[in-house]
Amino acid sequence: MKTFKSILFITFFVVGLTSCDSLNNLADVVFTASFSKSFPVSLQEGNNSVDEVDTLNFTDDSDVYKYRDKLKDVKIDSVKLQVLNYQGDANNTITGSVMYSSIASSTGKAIASINGLSLDHLSASGEMINLPLNSANLNDIGSLLQNDKKIKVYLKGNVDSTPASFVVKVYVYNEITANALK
């Protein structure tokens, strides 16, 4: 009889622990958020280099702010780029990358590549294009957004000809998991 009671107690204890984990996971909230940064670029004759940086504050989104201390996972789904207000040579292209870093760092890591995009065409069409992602850095950027809530976003690259002026708008789309009970 003592053995039966011991087994029964252990069974209820294990089921109770498993149930707590299950209940905790049931409290997970999964939502999407998108962020954008605009980079005004004005290049004078002979300066083909694009080198811009800005801060992305993850808690600017109301849902992220609401769950800021309860984040479990941040996944980057996609990075898109849009060119606005282009003025310059009709055949001009941009090649480079969208990068990120922690707020404390001054050196970025690539998250997406920009490969010979026509500035004039993109500006005239208003099209937003998906950029190829550097999968090696996706977990790192997600971790920075989850823990630090801020990152630096860089636009680095070169154009074919100058003078040129335009605005590059970068969009970052995320899937976020938070735990309401945490």
Structure token pair of residue 180:
């309401």
Query: Which percentage of the chain shows pLDDT scores above 70?
Result: 86
Q: For the domain that residue 143 is a member of, what is the CATH number?
A: 2.60.120
Please report whether residue 103 resides in a domain: yes
**25, 174 contact by CB (below 8 A):** no
Query: With 0-12 CB in 10 A as exposed, 13-18 as middle and 19+ as buried, what is 26?
Result: exposed
Strands 71-87 and 93-101: unpaired
Contacts of 58 (CB under 8 A, 6+ apart): 35, 64, 68, 74, 145, 149, 150, 151
- The tally of domains found in the chain comes to 1
Please report whether residue 62 resides in a domain: yes
Please report whether residue 42 resides in a domain: yes
Tell me the per-residue pLDDT of 66-80, one tens digit each, with 9 for 90 and over: 999 999 999 999 999
Please report whether residue 19 resides in a domain: no
Identify the domain containing residue 165 by its residue range: 28-179
Mean pLDDT, the chain, whole residue set: 88
Please report whether residue 96 resides in a domain: yes
Per-residue pLDDT, 22: 56
Please report whether residue 89 resides in a domain: yes
First CA to last CA across the chain, in angstroms? 40
| Most confident stretch, 11-15, 58-62, 118-122 | 118-122
Rounded-to-integer distance, Cα 173 and Cα 91, Å: 30
**114, 97 contact by CB (below 8 A):** yes
pLDDT reading at 84 higher than 90: yes
Least confident of 19-33, 50-64, 127-141, 157-171: 19-33
Tell me the per-residue pLDDT of 5-35, one tens digit each, with 9 for 90 and over: 555 455 555 555 444 555 566 789 999 999 9
Please report whether residue 18 resides in a domain: no
Please report whether residue 88 resides in a domain: yes
Rounded-to-integer distance, Cα 182 and Cα 167, Å: 41
Query: Which percentage of the chain shows pLDDT scores above 90?
Result: 72
